[in-house]
A and B are shown apart, each in its own frame.
Chain A
Amino acid sequence: VNFQLEGDPVALPMIVNATLLRIAQGAIANVVRHAHATRADLTLTYQSDSVSLDVVDDGVGFDPATASAEAGESFGLRAIRQRVASLGGMLSVESALGEGTALAVTVPILDPAAAEPSRPEVSA
């Protein structure tokens, strides 16, 4: 497993850090368990408006269409998708049989004022 860092790191809200770390751990565990890969790369990319985490392996891959049609989306992926959605981000899964798997999570970086943890809404 290689790790690459691209771009200038900026401070992120704690919740974003924690979520990305969890996803990285889960994704690497998936690679180890299922992919039969010889190489996996974890790349954290800071851009002006977003931060992305890519977990890419050269393993056996799978057919994303079949996987979700047959068994529903796997539990792990669904959990990741929900975590990312809660941060306003996007998850993309790219794979094909024999072509390895790429998982990409992109979370927007809001301007510093907006990045302050928002007050939970109180509902009566």
Chain B
Amino acid sequence: VIRCCIALAVCALGLAGGASAGRPTAADLEAEFVCPVCETTLDQSNAPIAQNMKAFIRARIAAGDDESQIKNALVAEFGPGVVAKPPGGGFGLLAWLLPLVALAGGAVVVAVLIWTWSSRRPPASEPEEELEPRLERLVDDELARLDG
């Protein structure tokens, strides 16, 4: 019984996963495309063209298109700039790499600073200057006088 339950749960999870991968939701896609007029993602825009694009996405989903087909159709109309995520190759790769480079650069700067500060030794205490014999005698005499 337990094995059957586990098998059923695995099948249900698999079906659910498969369904979400094959049939995108309008909400998912609206966050992935940019309104060409207001330059925000569709889910944050009420511009007329954004509303047309949302209607287009819903119609294509209803017609059974998958995510890549909808993406290709929108890129054909509005160009590659309609996709919110930069492409993973060519010039778009910079958008992915630059934050990592900046993060690594920042880490290097912090490491250099820590190393610099920790390697600074405190200044050695200066040796006490010895008094001249004449002055020392004067101090001794004065102290003796005060004691006496």
Chain A bound to chain B: no
Task: Please report A residues at the B interface, Cβ cutoff 8 Å.
Answer: none
Task: Please report B residues at the A interface, Cβ cutoff 8 Å.
Answer: none
